[in-house]
Amino acid sequence: MDDFAKTVGAEVRRLRTQRKLTQRNIALQLGMTPSVLSRKERGSMVFTRDDIKQLIDIFALNPEESLRLLMIAGYIPDPGSIPLFPGDLRAIASPWLQSLTFPALVFDGLKYVRVWNGYMEALYGLNQCSMGPIHWLDYLFAPLFQQRVSVRWETLIVQQLREFYFATLPLAQEPAYPRLLAQLKEKHGNEFVRLWEAVLNDILSNPTQTPIHLAQSMLYWQSNQATLEFVITHKPIAPMLSLWVLVPHGMLGQYTLQQVLAGTTAEPLYFRP
C-alpha cells in the first residue's frame, strides 16, 4: 500500500466524515461502487484528478481547501481556477500588519507585494520602487535592495528564487505566470536568466530535495551604522495571500532594530494593486 495514496485517502475520508457523508452517498456521486471508494480511502487505489475535482464540488470546498486537496493529491490546479488574491485585502491584511512590531509584508499567489507596514518601508523603501504593482523579485533585483544587503545579494537572490519557484508552482499553468517570467527576463536581462536557470537546473537535478523552509530563510539589512539579520516567518492568512514577518535574529538583533526604527510605527500601511 503506497504511503502517498494512503495520505490522499485519509484526507478525503477526513473531509467526508467531517461533513457526515457516507461512502455510499459519495460513491454514487463519483460514479463508482462503495467498495472502490473504500479502497481509495484506504490507499490501495489512487484517486484520479477527475475524482478530486468532483470531490471539491461535492464537499463544497473553499479556494484554500480546494488548493490543499489538489496539492495533497499531487495535482496542479486548472488555469483560472484559483484567485491570485481575495477581494477585501484591507480587511484581511490590516489587523495583522497594524499589530506587529516587526517589519512585515503581504504577498499574493504570484509574489506581488500587496501591502507592507511602516517598519518594512523604513528599512527597505519599497514605496520608492514604483507607483504601480511591485513584484518581490523586481524589488530584489533593484539597486535599492542591493545597497541594503551588499555582498550577500547573490546568495539571497538564489534562496529567494528557489522559494518563488516552489511557492508559485500551483499557479504555473495560469496565463499570468509565463507573462510574469517574460517580464522579469526582459527587465533584468542576463543576470536574471543566469540565476533563474541555475536554480531550475539545481532543482531538476535534485528532484528529491524539499522546498526551502521559510523559517530557516534569512534576509539582511545594513547601513553605515548597523547590520541586521532577519529570520523570515511565514503565515498564510487567506487563499493565495501570505504574510511574511521579519524577526530580528537574537536579542542583540532586537535591540539594534529598536534603535534603527526609533520613532517609526507600523502605520501607515502601504497598499499596491
Contact 232, 66 (CB under 8 A): no
Give the whole-angstrom CA distance, residue 92 versus residue 89: 5
- Can you give the pLDDT of all 273 residues of the chain as single tens digits? 567 788 889 999 999 999 999 999 999 999 999 999 999 999 999 999 899 999 999 999 887 788 778 878 877 666 566 665 555 788 888 999 988 899 999 999 899 999 999 999 999 999 887 778 899 999 999 888 888 887 788 889 999 999 999 888 888 888 889 999 999 999 999 999 999 999 999 888 876 666 665 555 788 888 888 889 998 888 888 878 899 999 998 889 999 999 999 999 999 999 987
CATH 3.30.450.180 occupies which residues in the chain? 89-271
Given this model, what pLDDT does residue 211 score?
64
Given this model, what pLDDT does residue 79 score?
58
CATH 1.10.260.40 occupies which residues in the chain? 3-72
The single-letter code of the amino acid at 43 is G
Report, at the CATH architecture level, how domain 3-72 is classified. Answer: Orthogonal Bundle (1.10)
What number of CA atoms fall less than 13 Å from residue 254's CA on the CB side? Answer: 4
Given this model, what pLDDT does residue 235 score?
86
| Model pTM above 0.75 | no
Q: How many other C-beta atoms lie within 10 A of the C-beta of residue 255?
A: 11
Neighbouring residues of 192: CB distance < 8 A, sequence distance ≥ 6: 137, 141, 184, 185
Given this model, what pLDDT does residue 20 score?
94
- Of the candidate CATH numbers 3.90.870.10, 3.30.450.180, 1.10.3720.10, 3.40.50.1240, the domain formed by 89-271 belongs to 3.30.450.180
Residue 268 host element (H or E): none
Length of the chain as a residue count: 273
Given this model, what pLDDT does residue 170 score?
80
